[in-house]
């Protein structure tokens, strides 16, 4: 009886060691998409009046948890009964990531007219502000759902050959880290300028160290969000390129003579540009047909 109990403990310890090792590897593989997730959500959670930033962010966080509760069981069912589909979805997700990264670069060099969005400031009634807030929260949760699918599938693709118990524990931990980590950092980012203003107000008549730090924090917030966007774009292409190189046999030995990080970026960008061209051609054909009717 005792030997059976200790054997069980030994099995649990071995499982936990495997889970810890696989979680570390999987978190590294999803780090790129987490960077883009952070950039997107920092942008989505900004623009509200100061008193509403944290409540809005909490509403988006709850939506993100709900997204994970929907996605995770479906992903595990696919892995258990249709394991080949995980790789297919992973490559399709890579196509989306590479397209999104290439589109961001294209928009940087060829600026598009931006949609006019309403700011959460000005002469709005309380009901109008609540409606605008709900609209932005829904948009953020939909975006989170897409990013969550990508994160879960990339994580699952890293452990698809492991026992289903290990898959469930590892991918669930990564999903939890994705939500808590990303939205925790976003909360700090969106409150950065308010903290800076408090330091400025407490400074001695616009002088001293508090004033300098506060002014820097207020100045740095928009720069930080822009920087995250650039880092996120590069990360998208790196993640996508890595997916293609590791899961498409034709690309296993492509450009082996150069550093893998550069190879992944080149592959991700190349595939993204092809996807972008195809999408733009399709749009032109579709809209030209619609205009004729």
Paired tokens of 104: 């961001």
Rounded Cα gap, residues 25 and 90, in angstroms = 17
Per residue of the chain (293 residues), give pLDDT as tens: 444 433 433 444 444 444 555 555 555 555 555 665 666 666 666 656 666 777 888 888 888 889 889 988 988 888 888 888 888 888 888 888 899 889 988 888 876 655 444 445 555 666 666 777 788 788 778 777 877 887 888 788 777 777 888 788 888 888 888 788 777 877 777 778 778 888 888 877 667 787 888 888 888 878 887 787 787 788 778 888 888 888 888 887 888 888 888 998 999 999 999 999 999 898 888 777 666 66
DSSP tag of 125:
-
Paired tokens of 257: 């003579």
What is the end-to-end Cα distance of the chain in Å, rounded? Answer: 79
Paired tokens of 97: 């990531």
pLDDT at residue 5 in the model: 37
Rounded Cα gap, residues 82 and 1, in angstroms = 39
For residue 197, with 0-12 CB atoms within 10 Å meaning exposed, 13-18 middle and 19 or more buried, which class applies?
middle
pLDDT tens profile 9-55? 344 444 444 455 555 555 555 555 566 566 666 666 665 666 677 78
Rounded Cα gap, residues 44 and 129, in angstroms = 16
Rounded Cα gap, residues 5 and 3, in angstroms = 5
By the 8 A CB rule, do 71 and 152 touch?
A: yes
Let me know how long the chain is. Answer: 293
pLDDT tens profile 83-121? 888 888 888 888 888 998 899 888 888 766 554 444 455
């Amino acid at each position: 009886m005792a030997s059976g109990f200790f054997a069980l403990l030994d099995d649990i310890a071995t499982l936990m060691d495997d889970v810890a090792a696989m979680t570390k590897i999987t978190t590294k593989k999803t780090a790129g998409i987490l960077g883009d997730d952070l950039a997107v959500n920092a942008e989505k959670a900004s623009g509200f009046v100061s008193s509403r930033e944290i409540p809005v962010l909490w509403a988006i966080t709850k939506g993100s948890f709900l997204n994970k509760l929907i996605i995770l069981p479906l992903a595990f069912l696919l892995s258990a009964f249709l394991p080949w589909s995980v790789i297919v979805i992973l490559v399709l997700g890579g196509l989306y990531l590479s397209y999104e990264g290439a589109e961001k670069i294209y928009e940087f060099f060829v600026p598009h007219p931006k949609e006019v969005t309403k700011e959460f400031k000005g002469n709005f009634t309380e009901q109008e502000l609540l409606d605008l807030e709900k609209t932005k929260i829904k948009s953020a949760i939909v975006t989170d759902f897409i990013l969550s699918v990508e994160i879960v599938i990339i994580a699952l693709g890293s452990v698809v050959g492991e026992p289903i118990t290990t898959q469930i524990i590892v991918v669930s931990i990564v999903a939890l880290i994705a939500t808590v980590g990303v939205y925790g950092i976003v909360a700090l980012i969106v409150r950065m300028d308010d903290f800076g203003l408090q330091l400025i107000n407490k400074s001695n008549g616009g002088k001293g160290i508090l004033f300098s730090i506060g002014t820097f924090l207020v100045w740095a917030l928009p720069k930080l969000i822009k920087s995250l966007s650039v880092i996120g774009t590069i990360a998208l292409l790196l993640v996508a390129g890595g997916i293609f190189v590791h899961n498409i046999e034709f690309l296993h030995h492509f450009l082996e003579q150069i550093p893998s990080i550069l190879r992944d970026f080149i592959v991700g960008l190349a595939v993204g540009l092809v996807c972008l061209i195809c999408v733009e051609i399709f749009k032109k054909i579709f809209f030209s047909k619609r205009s004729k009717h």
